[in-house]
Amino acid sequence: VVFFVPQAEGFNSFQVAPGAPSWLEIPDVDRVIHVDQKHPLGSDVNPGSSKFPMRSIGAATHKAVENRKRGFSTKIIVSPGIYREQIKLEFTKKKNDPVIVFESEKPGEAIISGADVWTEWKEVGTQGVYVHAWPYKWGLVPYPLKWDGQVKLEPIVRRKEIVSVAGQLLSQVLSFGDLIEGTFFISEEDGRIYVFPRPKNIETRLSAEVGVRSNLFQISGKKGVVVRGLTFQHDASGIQGAAVWFVDSKDILVEDCEFRFNNWTGLSLHNVQHVTTRRNRSIENGGAGMVAWKTKAYLSEDDETSRNNWRGLEGNFFYWAVGGFKVMRTHAAIFRRHQARQNHTGGLWFDSDNSNIVLEDNLWCGNLKHGLFLEASQGPFLIKDNIIVNNREIGVRVLYAQDLFFNKNVIKENDGSQIQIRGKKELLIDDWETGRKIKVKNLRYLFEGNTIEGNNLVIDIDSFQDFISSFRSQNNHWFKPGGNAPFKIVNEQLSFTEWKILTNQDLDSKFDKAYQKPFYNDNDCQYKNE
């Protein structure tokens, strides 16, 4: 797909490769394995036919690996049910690598869970607190490599226990005295877990889902994998962990899946090329909803990452490694119709060495921090037809990013500046593919056809000469009620007339409230601390 940036000094056309190859959409497979844990004849020694299915996904996966060794591709069809297991596959790369498909028979109804069901709880006193033996001593998760001394992690952020009662996650506290309704506490010294569920969630006998497995689904070194219609929940991975991992892989398609109620990240792509994620929901995870690192030729369509980072919220951990969607070192990617709503952090964050990125028809709203954050990236970015509204801090935050084209976006009613651009000098970054060093400055920004409106600053820029020399802006609608100097360059606030004179731009733009609200649900675009 080739996107042509309108003629402007310093801008060129750029190419973006789409995601997974088209043959993965409906791949021809040599073998089909059925998995059905509820089938009366189900057994892991069965051949995996519809009449004699296997009982576990793990056993079916083992059979698929054996098929691969013989050169056969395989589809694993999973019937509805909760599969309390872990799938981990490490491959040696092959030139001709038969595809493996994991597919839910009914989308959303085959669930891979990191939790086991715990019963045999005993009530403590008459206050609604229950106790159960706790056999684990996980302690605080260690700081990830190179984090120590760079960022402070509160103890609650470094825990990984997860408990759910009647489908509702309980919040973790770090002392028995802090227990209130809707929380749980673990005493590793005494080997006990205490839960204080809401009374309406208790029937005649308390039953709780307790996370005991981490990294529920991990594939590394594989070419050709499809995951379709599965749900992954209650993963007990610590910080920087994920329920689902793809590592050092190629030709990957993940669609119609849900990643929910996991302790840290829902889905992580780690050094993956030619990958498509489509119509997935990563919601209510303790850290980031989705993470991409060193991805190339990536297509994200109709994905949602909302209401994530609840564990980070408990420990005031909002940046560094979290976001509704955190993207790093990604080259050649399209993000289309992505939604990031009501995250306890920012919506979408591109951090370091991102190039040839297209962002179109996305909705980032109601997030605790920014809507969109572009940091330490050489670009170019085409940012087109997006809605960025009602974020509790900045609408679009930029820190050392160049070659940005903003076209026909709606950026309004964010609590802070609608657009904030920071980076007075230049930043040296490295390109992960070529290894070469790249100097990044806030250069070559083009604004065309946007609606930018708010009660605070519409644009806030901390540098002047380099930025203005390559800045082009035309045919926009700017507005601030009252019109009191909403444009800021360095330390000076300007009226619209002063802005036009100083920049010699926006000569055909308007300063008025001529904007008609696009379709989005207001209630879904208001941040909620719950």
Q: Is 461 helix (H, G, I), strand (E, B) or coil?
A: strand
Please tell me the predicted confidence (pLDDT) of residue 305: 99
Please give the Cα distance from 224 to 238 (Å, whole number).
Answer: 28
pLDDT tens, residue by residue, 393-423: 999 999 999 999 999 999 999 999 999 999 9
Please give the Cα distance from 136 to 150 (Å, whole number).
Answer: 29
Domains of the chain: which residue ranges?
115-211, 346-530
Tokens representing 163?
Answer: 């408990």
Pairing, β 410-412 against β 451-453: parallel
Pairing, β 129-133 against β 192-196: antiparallel
pLDDT tens, residue by residue, 455-479: 999 999 998 888 898 999 999 999 9
How does residue 428 score in pLDDT terms, banded at 50, 70 and 90? very high
Pairing, β 122-124 against β 115-118: unpaired
Q: Of the candidates 166, 268, 169, which has an alpha carbon nearest to the alpha carbon of residue 216?
A: 268
Cα-based angle 18, 385, 512 (whole degrees, multiple of 5): 165
Among the ranges given (86-100, 269-283, 507-521), the one the predictor scored with the smallest mean pLDDT? 507-521
Edge-to-edge strands, sheet with 122-124? 122-124, 129-133, 192-196, 183-187, 171-173
Tokens representing 295?
Answer: 């991805």
pLDDT tens, residue by residue, 295-326: 999 999 999 999 999 999 999 999 999 999 99
% of the chain residues with pLDDT over 70: 95
Please give the Cα distance from 103 to 15 (Å, whole number).
Answer: 32
Entry pTM: 0.95
pLDDT tens, residue by residue, 87-136: 999 988 777 899 999 999 999 999 999 999 999 999 998 789 999 999 99
| Site of tokens 């226990």 | 161
Residue type, 304: E
Q: Which residues contact 52 (CB under 8 A, 6 or more apart)?
A: 41, 42, 43, 46
Q: Which residues contact 168 (CB under 8 A, 6 or more apart)?
A: 182, 197, 198, 201
Q: How far is the first Cα of the chain from the last one, in angstroms, to the nearest whole number?
A: 41
